[in-house]
């Protein structure tokens, strides 16, 4: 079994706590703050993947203010056809009751491909927050058609990570998306 970083030690981020009062915002501003914070976990995973020689896509599964699992695209590192960022985050989270998935959000640095979209739908994850969809447009319309809320944060860092990678390794990127 491979060693993976523990996520249990991460403190819960309480939406209504002192941090929210200090920010002085309403629910929409507060949700944006939380989304950016948890997308940061996915971005860190993308950086790890890139440093390992892989595709810089990261993801985090979050419920109740806690990161349940964070992962990154590990197709190159593991020689795996299915370890995208989202599927790696699900693997790290481990087996969970359906009720947990149904109140979770998947944070991902890039618009989810058909396979990762299928995983979100299979487990009934109601919300997906993406870092960007300029470098790759995944199956966002399918997610929306099935009632999943899709939020695009348009992260400049996520765009830069993917643009730099695809310019340096177009063959690896094309392999990753099945071209």
> Which residues are known to be catalytic?
86
Residue 112, phi then psi, degrees to nearest 5: -70, 140
DSSP 14: -
| Nearest-angstrom CA–CA distance, 175 and 136 | 14
| Nearest-angstrom CA–CA distance, 36 and 77 | 27
Three-state DSSP state, 81: coil
């Amino acid at each position: 079994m491979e060693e993976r970083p523990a996520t249990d030690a991460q403190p819960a981020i309480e939406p209504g706590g002192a941090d929210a009062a200090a920010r002085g915002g309403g629910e929409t501003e507060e949700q944006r703050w939380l989304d950016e914070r948890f997308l940061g976990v996915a971005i860190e995973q993308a950086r790890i993947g890139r440093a390992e020689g892989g595709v810089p896509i990261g993801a985090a599964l979050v419920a109740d203010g806690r990161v349940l699992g964070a992962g990154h695209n590990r197709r190159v590192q593991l020689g795996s056809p299915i370890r995208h960022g989202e599927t790696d985050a699900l693997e790290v989270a481990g087996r969970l009751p359906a009720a947990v998935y149904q109140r979770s959000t998947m944070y991902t640095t890039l618009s989810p491909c058909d396979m990762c979209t299928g995983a979100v739908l299979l487990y009934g994850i109601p919300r997906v927050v993406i870092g960007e969809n300029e470098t790759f447009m995944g199956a966002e319309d399918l997610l929306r058609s099935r009632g999943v809320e899709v939020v695009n944060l348009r992260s400049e860092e996520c765009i830069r990570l993917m643009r730099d990678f695809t310019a340096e390794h177009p063959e690896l990127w094309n392999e990753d998306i099945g071209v």
